[in-house]
Amino acid sequence: MLLLGCALATPPQRASRNVVGALVRRLGFLQVDSINSVERAHHLILHSRLDGYAPSMLAHVTETQRLLFEHWTHDASLIRSDWRQWWSHRFVAARERMGKSAWFQSQLGRNGKRHIAQVRDAIRERGPLMARDFPRPKRAGAGWWDWSPQKAALEYLWRTGDIAIHSRKNFDKVYDLAVRVHPEPISSSSRSAMIDWACDAALARLGCATARELSHFMHAVTIQEARAWCLDATASGRVIRVVLERGDSKPLDGVATVDWRDRANQGVPTTPARLLAPFDPLIRDRARLLGLFNFDYRFEAFTPEAKRRFGYYTMPVLFGEELVARVDLASDREAGVLRVSRIFREKSCAARAARAAAREACERLAGQLQLRVALPSACEKTLA
């Protein structure tokens, strides 16, 4: 139960706007990803925890109720809005980092300050705008990261907090002035206060963790800062010092919430098998995942096809407290089908149990996506 504290230890709730908002607050944030092979990852994270979830629910919570804002944690994420006050530290750090980056300055081009001012003024005068609303000068392309000066200016203004993501259209960002999207002022805070908040928020969701895991939860603090926080919080009795087992490695020093025994002894109720998005909170820290579950997982969408072991978009199967299999699948929306190419069983799970869990998880997700499962019998041979 302690290991599944990211809202996976209980049966899925029935989705609604209020439930979605409460769930993301409990998780803290959702990693956002553009790949739509099955469904975008932030939606898959909610599909695994909720029945009847629809992307429009998250859009309402984010763009109408403004309970979430989009920025960076360890990656691009939708974050609970009452945490935004702590992002002033990131805004300052981004301004310094981007100001020193030779690559970024080359994207801004000559007169970078003027481009930034022009983009800010355009948004102020015209309202919410996308990168495509600015003219793109013709120049030799450099691939994905060949930004126009206006695109670079938008990125700078967003990373440094002057503008915010107002909404998305076909997953393209629509920007507006931050004070119009989130009118609540950001109060200043000390670095020590931010460290205390970040480590406390991380531990509340992880249950038990090393200093590295606390640091990597949101990438808001350094490992050294997290280590110092662990010492102080242990001395004051706010957390408990524990020794953590992580696979075959030697035991590691860590901390746990004071109620960790109660949380660990609650047990896991019977829940349906579920497919997990590649960036699900339970599995996105790959080192922690390997140590806790002995599950060696790599997202292979960016791996050359010839070097992939499992597939372009492979999702682990959670059954009870175990990751029993992984499934290579994709959505064929035109045909109305969730196509399963291959299923790979973990050695620790019997073939029959893994097969049943994988089928159940695929059928559940297909139903959530309003698709039917296409599961060729040949793919099950990999479970033998």
DSSP-derived letter for residue 333 is T
CATH class of the domain comprising 101-181: mainly alpha
Q: What is the pLDDT of residue 80?
A: 97
The arithmetic mean of pLDDT across residues 20-32, rounded, is: 97
**For the segment 41-85, what is each residue's pLDDT rounded down to a tens digit?**
999 999 999 999 999 999 999 999 999 999 999 999 999 999 999
**Is pLDDT at 188 greater than 60 in this prediction?**
yes
Q: What is the pLDDT of residue 194?
A: 97
Would you tell me the crossing angle of helices 191-206 and 211-218 to the nearest 10 degrees?
A: 100
Q: What is the pLDDT of residue 147?
A: 82
**For the segment 369-382, what is each residue's pLDDT rounded down to a tens digit?**
999 999 876 565 45
Bridge partners of 240? 256
Element (H, E) at 340: strand 337-345
Grade residue 130 by pLDDT with cuts at 50, 70 and 90: very high
Q: What is the pLDDT of residue 375?
A: 83
Structure tokens at 59: 């859009």
341 closest CA partner among 294, 285, 300: 300
- CA dist 150 and 345 (Å) reads 48
Contact 342, 309 (CB under 8 A): no
DSSP, residue by residue, 262-286: HHHTT-------EE--TT-TTTSSH
List helix spans (H) across 101-190. Answer: 102-108, 112-126, 149-159, 178-181
Q: What is the pLDDT of residue 377?
A: 66
Residue 205 CB: number of other CB atoms within 10 A? 18
Bridge partners of 242? 254
Classify domain 188-266 at the CATH topology level. Arc Repressor Mutant, subunit A (1.10.10)
Cα distances from 121 to residues 75, 98, 116, 188, 320, in angstroms, run: 28, 20, 9, 26, 53
Q: What is the pLDDT of residue 142?
A: 47
Angle, CA of 160, 75 and 81, to the nearest 5°: 60
**For the segment 253-307, what is each residue's pLDDT rounded down to a tens digit?**
999 999 988 877 776 667 899 999 999 999 999 999 999 999 999 999 999 999 9
**For the segment 148-179, what is each residue's pLDDT rounded down to a tens digit?**
999 999 999 999 999 999 999 999 999 999 99
274-383 CATH: 3.40.630
Question: Residue 72, SS3?
Answer: strand
The reply to whether 188-266 shares the fold of 101-181 is yes
The arithmetic mean of pLDDT across residues 115-136, rounded, is: 94
| CB-based contacts of 85, cutoff 8 Å, min separation 6 | 186, 187, 189
Contact 1, 9 (CB under 8 A): yes
Contact 344, 326 (CB under 8 A): yes
- CA dist 27 and 158 (Å) reads 23
Q: What is the pLDDT of residue 8?
A: 86
The arithmetic mean of pLDDT across residues 199-203, rounded, is: 97
Q: What is the pLDDT of residue 249?
A: 80
Q: What is the pLDDT of residue 145?
A: 53
Q: What is the pLDDT of residue 378?
A: 57
Give me the residue spans of the domains in the chain.
Answer: 101-181, 188-266, 274-383
| CB-based contacts of 95, cutoff 8 Å, min separation 6 | 159, 160
- CA dist 338 and 363 (Å) reads 9
Grade residue 383 by pLDDT with cuts at 50, 70 and 90: very low
**For the segment 306-321, what is each residue's pLDDT rounded down to a tens digit?**
999 999 999 999 998 8
Q: What is the pLDDT of residue 177?
A: 98
Structure tokens at 180: 């119009």
Q: What is the pLDDT of residue 83?
A: 97
**For the segment 319-371, what is each residue's pLDDT rounded down to a tens digit?**
988 999 999 999 999 999 999 999 999 988 888 899 999 999 999 999 999 99
Bridge partners of 361? none
Contact 220, 73 (CB under 8 A): yes
Residue 360 CB: number of other CB atoms within 10 A? 16
List helix spans (H) across the chain. Answer: 17-27, 41-47, 55-59, 88-100, 102-108, 112-126, 149-159, 178-181, 191-206, 211-218, 223-235, 260-264, 286-293, 351-368
